[in-house]
Amino acid sequence: MANNIIFGSRIILPRNFLFLAMMLLLIPGLSGCAHLCPSPVAQEVAYQSEESREHVYVIFVESPVDVGKWGGLPELTEYFQECGIRHTYYFNPYKEGINGKNLAEFVRQIHCDPKARVMLVGWSYGSMISLKAIHNLAETGNSIDTMVYLDSFSLRLAGGESQPDNVGKTVLIYRSHINPPKGFACPDTHYIDVLSHLNLPMAPHTVDVLLSEAACLASSVSGSGVAQVPPEPDIEP
């Protein structure tokens, strides 16, 4: 079962916001939702020591309008746990708040672990909630190691200049026919060959990238700073 972050009570979003956001979410995604397939990059995660993986924290930040969980973030959360990233969490802003304060507070709690490596993964409008949390963290001198933005239209309007400098690494994952936001300082950008907005989070290449970033964080705990890749098995001809 996915780790769910629980703060406060359920919120009520304005009706016009829900309607417009649902249209933006569903219209590009009429082709249906993706199915999660095992990733070969999971081997990179498994190759990291259990002690290193214990200090990696991944938080998937849902879009507040994805009431049907069509993007599959709960499934991704459980899959990351199965791959050895035990501290993987699912943040549902529809229940926990859209202003980013509760998300920022959870990250502050994580920082009680002095070796913590934190990766936020914001999908769709969840990217903007993650951005709000990053600003909130900056106010108290806290930072995160990796911020991953998944196919956020709102972020394209805000631009990379809106992200404060308390983020170690920025990763942009967008559909191949969509221009990613500009203004970020040296982001890692990945283009996913899917048509549907809803299919992007669980697309194979997306999952590969996310697991690779988690492996890099685990490797940085052990001091190498570069993800270790398991050796190829010896196969006799």
For the domain that residue 184 is a member of, what is the CATH number? 3.40.50.1820
Is residue 126 assigned to a domain? yes
The pTM score is 0.84
Beta bridge partner(s), residue 148: 121, 171
More confident residue, 231 or 142: 142
* Structure tokens given for 113: 């672990």
How confident is the prediction for the chain on average, in pLDDT?
85
User: Does some domain include residue 30?
Assistant: no
Summarised one tens digit per residue, pLDDT across range 69-113 is 999 999 999 999 999 999 999 999 888 889 999 999 999 999 999
Query: Are the C-beta atoms of residues 108 and 140 closer than 8 Å to each other?
Result: yes
The residue behind tokens 């890749």 is 229
Contacts (Cβ under 8 Å, ≥6 apart) of 137:
104, 107, 108, 143, 144, 166
Q: Report if residue 113 sits inside a domain.
A: yes
Looking at per-residue confidence, does 236 or 70 come out higher? Answer: 70
pLDDT of residue 15 exceeding 80: no
Are residues 180 and 163 in contact, defined by beta-carbon separation less than 8 angstroms? no
8 A C-beta contact, residue 125 and residue 223: no
Q: Is the dihedral of CA 213, 107, 141, 149 positive or negative?
A: positive
The pLDDT score that the predictor gives to residue 45 is: 96
Instruction: Please indicate, yes or no, if residue 34 is contained in any of the structural domains.
Output: no
Q: Is residue 4 part of a domain?
A: no
**E-assigned strand segments in the chain:** 3-4, 56-61, 87-91, 117-123, 144-150, 167-175, 188-192
Statement: residue 27 has pLDDT above 90? no
The first and second tokens of residue 1, run together, are 């079962």
61 within some domain: yes
In a domain, 2, yes or no: no
Is residue 143 within 8 A of residue 164, CB to CB? The reply is no
Among 164, 181, 145, CA closest to 56: 145
pLDDT at 5: 63
Mean pLDDT (whole number) for 16-24: 48
Residues paired with 91 in a beta bridge: 61
Handedness of CA 104, 106, 112, 113 (dihedral sign): negative
In a domain, 33, yes or no: no
Sign of CA dihedral 88, 200, 104, 223: positive
Distance CA 4, CA 74 (A): 9
Range of the domain at 120: 39-222
Q: How many domains does the chain divide into?
A: 1
| Contact of 158 with 181, CB cutoff 8 Å | yes
pLDDT bin (cut points 50, 70, 90) of residue 13 is: very low
